[in-house]
Structure 1
Amino acid sequence: MAGKVLSLLPPLLLAAAGLAGLLLLYVPTRDVRELPALKYGIVLDAGSSHTSMFIYKWPADKENDTGIVGQHSSCDVRGGGISSYADSPSRAGQSLVECLDQALQEVPEERHVSTPLYLGATAGMRLLKSPSRWPAQLRIQPVRSTFGSTASTTGSTRTASSAMAVTRSSGGCWLVRCRCPTTPAHLHYCALLEGGGTHGFHPCWPRGYSTHVLLQDVYESPCTAAQRPQAFNNSTRVSLSGTSDPALCRGLIMGLFNFSSCRFSRCSFSGIFQPPVAGNFIAFSAFFYTMDFLRTVMGLPVATWPQLEAAVVTVCNQTWSELQARAPGERARLPDHCAGAMFVQQLLSRGYGFHERAFGAVTFQKKAGDAAVGWALGYMLNLTNLIPAEPPALRKGTDFGAWVVLVLLFAAMLLAAFVLLLRQARSADSSGAI
């Protein structure tokens, strides 16, 4: 008898398994949305003094057709700014290889082809003679063969992108940039015209510092284009020396602003409308680095408006040897800290109206959350509107109650099989004892 039961056990188990399978076909299911995959985008912020690469990511299905963009990582490109490669554009592309290799490692391989790469080189491009040729020359072959596309941007998108970045990161307000930037080339060319002749004096540069520039380059600066004479010797080299004069430097900086024309009820400068200063503001990019230099390198307090004014005068009174002693590792940028600090002070006070009371509402930040505050984040956020969303991935799922029933059913099958095996074993033992 036991042999008959044992012989029937396999088909019984198979029948039970088949019955369970049939039951599964009739269990109600529903579509369960899986976690969305991630898309990636790369922005190269190629400024006049240095280049940074930012890798961003967002859920591929997007929300309201706009990606919820977050910063994945960043990389600082070694070497100078994009304008330093004016005579050899191919070297500018080569300088990006190290950071692009990082992007290859951090962006999943299956996303390489669909990852867009954008070049933003507004400030650096303005210092070049033929900037229109550069975006194509920067698209080195590894970039073209690896990432999906490349594109470039100009200054018209930069301010709006900065606003979007700050709003996305912290919900705060934002500070715009001056149309005539405070790059070293622009400021010292303006100073040169004040001196005249083949030797000029730069009141914003420290005493003991000097350099030589071509007169042709002087008049290609946006700050000096209006003063360009009809005829001059392009090859003339001019010596420019620092004098450490805060008062003259302030006057030079103020020459960059135009407060005389305003078609509206009130303006900031250059005829641009500005409402009254109210609320909280975030100052980033050059604002942050300038204040950080005054605080950390110079050791000066800048929490209040009088403290900032005093700090600017102090740094503009420094000699070249004194500055080098304070920051020996920043020799390339040291001559321009006085001009930068003076520009920030005058832009905040005369340009935007952040005086004593309103100045307390301004915070100087490099990051908001886990993302660097700047135009690149807002630019990538806006460009996700042009990148198609991926349809959500779905899988079949069962309700929890049905899942519990199936678990109990399979458990009962296993228990029944165990009981049958146990009875078979006992029957065999009894037969052996007889």
Structure 2
Amino acid sequence: MGVQMKPVLLGAAFAAVACTTFIALILSLANHHTLDLPHSTQYGIVFDAGSTHTALFLYQWLGSKENSTGIVSQSLSCDVDGDGISSYVQNPPGAGESLKKCLAVAKAAIPSGQQRATPVYLGATAGMRLLSLENKSQADIILAEVTKTIQSYPFDFRGARILTGMEEGAYGWITINYLFESFIKHTFEGKWVHPKAGRILGALDLGGASTQISFTLRDPVRVPESSFNPKLYGYKYEVYTHSYQCYGKDQALKKLQAWLHKAFSAYFYTFDFLGLAPKAPLNQVLSTIDTHCNKTWNTLVAQNPSIKAKYLRDYCASAHYIMTILLKGLKFNNTWDQISFEKQVADTAVGWTLGYMLNLTNLIPSEHSRAITGVSHNQWAAQTFFIVSALFLSLLIVILFLALKSCKLLYIVM
């Protein structure tokens, strides 16, 4: 009777295996869900090599983009010790050496697996423009030294070059309008959209050796060399931008000192010191400057003990020079209330470097979307149960088959 029951049990086991295998197959194929994995963070570094100092800015953005342009944010900034790289005429290797501290800071902030994919740019502005006009070979030597230093770090170095005044002004214009959400805005629904009534702002920049103005016009720009045409987030813009070389604060003060035989960025720092940033009525600005400039040196030192003398002595001349530019040069007399003096917007430095990085993200390929396919936890548990059951029953079949075979052999022998 036992021998007769074993084929029945074997057949039942075969049927059970078939059923559980079929159920497991259905569960493995049904109700699959596809999830998009979050994009990885990408990084970019820009050195702002100005006439009086150099600063490193580390930016980051997700691998995905909005209409080919990245949503970029400032991760950190680092001020390089010493003066601008144009001051290293007598010691060109020192220009490269000065960058090492900030390069080490950036390296520590970027995951090691992404460092070699991180682009690094160095843009030199008016100080190096002047040096290049005076002694091009000396300027090239300094750029070669900073290149050598940056290339010794595990980054994707994209070059060190001297920006034109137009580029400096135009990239500053991009930065301002990006930070004030004139190009793209994040909605409550979590989407990035182009503002329907976005107000495009103009940008003023006063550096040590030059000053720039950039803004959009209702009509086409008539001077081709002053026209800049970026494409950002799928929209094209035409910007008028002009740079006034040798009209920066430091260059102007040098001229004043030469004429009088005496012994920023400038817009923000001067007005912030005077308590006039970000905005103040024009009559208050004029009276504050007049009051400050009529103080004796001893009074100024006593009232501002924490400020270095080399900065304190220039605030009066700087303020008068700024007002001359804005009122007599650029004619802001009747539109003064539209000017705002800013150093940072949303914890991001106002300057040309962010605009430069934003424009360059158009050239950096977007990261391909990544997705995974899976099932719910309950479905996975059921699927696992039936797979294990099928394996157990298969093992049972093998045992029964071997037992049945041994019984037949025993019967033949007897």
TM (normalized to structure 2)? 0.67
Q: Deviations over 1:6-30 (max 9, x none)?
A: x99x999988875554224422546
Distance 1:70 1:192 in 2: 41
Alignment partner, residue 319 of structure 2: 341
Q: AA paired with 2:368?
A: P
2:92 to 77, 89, 92: 89
Alignment partner, residue 74 of structure 1: 77
Displacement after TM superposition at 1:33 (Å):
2.1
1:147 to 144, 155, 167: 155
State yes or no: 1:164 paired with 2:208.
no
Alignment partner, residue 221 of structure 1: none
Where does 1:122-271 land on structure 2 (aligned, <5 Å)?
Answer: 122-128=125-131, 129=135, 130-141=138-149, 143-151=151-159, 152-154=161-163, 155-170=165-180, 171=182, 173-177=201-205, 178=211, 179-181=244-246, 183=248, 185-192=250-257, 194-195=259-260, 200-201=261-262, 241=263
Distance 1:36 1:302 in 2: 40
CA contact (8 A) 2:85 2:142 kept: no
CA contact (8 A) 1:182 1:343 kept: no
State yes or no: 1:101 paired with 2:104.
yes
CA contact (8 A) 1:182 1:340 kept: no
Distance 2:285 2:57 in 1: 32
Displacement after TM superposition at 1:44 (Å):
0.9
Distance 1:25 1:190 in 2: 80
Alignment partner, residue 59 of structure 2: 56
Q: AA paired with 1:359?
A: W
Q: AA paired with 1:180?
A: Q
State yes or no: 1:65 paired with 2:71.
no
State yes or no: 1:362 paired with 2:300.
no
Q: Deviations over 1:288-313 (max 9, x none)?
A: 111111119xxx99721111112222
Displacement after TM superposition at 1:66 (Å):
1.4
Segments of 5+ residues of structure 1 without an aligned counterpart are 202-240, 242-283, 417-434
Distance 1:308 1:17 in 2: 85
Q: AA paired with 2:40?
A: A
Distance 1:111 1:142 in 2: 16
Where does 1:303-382 land on structure 2 (aligned, <5 Å)?
Answer: 303-325=280-302, 326-355=304-333, 358-382=335-359
Alignment partner, residue 409 of structure 1: 382
Secondary structure (helix, strand or coil) at the match of 2:108 reads: helix
Secondary structure (helix, strand or coil) at the match of 1:57 reads: strand
Alignment partner, residue 294 of structure 1: 274
Q: Deviations over 1:311-333 (max 9, x none)?
A: 22233334444443314442332
**Higher mean C-alpha displacement, 302-311 vs 107-116:** 302-311
The alignment yields a C-alpha RMSD, in angstroms, of 3.7
Secondary structure (helix, strand or coil) at the match of 2:61 reads: strand
Q: Deviations over 1:94-129 (max 9, x none)?
A: 121111111111111111111111112202213534
Alignment partner, residue 116 of structure 2: 113
- Percent of residue pairs identical: 34
Segments of 5+ residues of structure 2 without an aligned counterpart are 183-199, 206-210, 212-243, 390-414
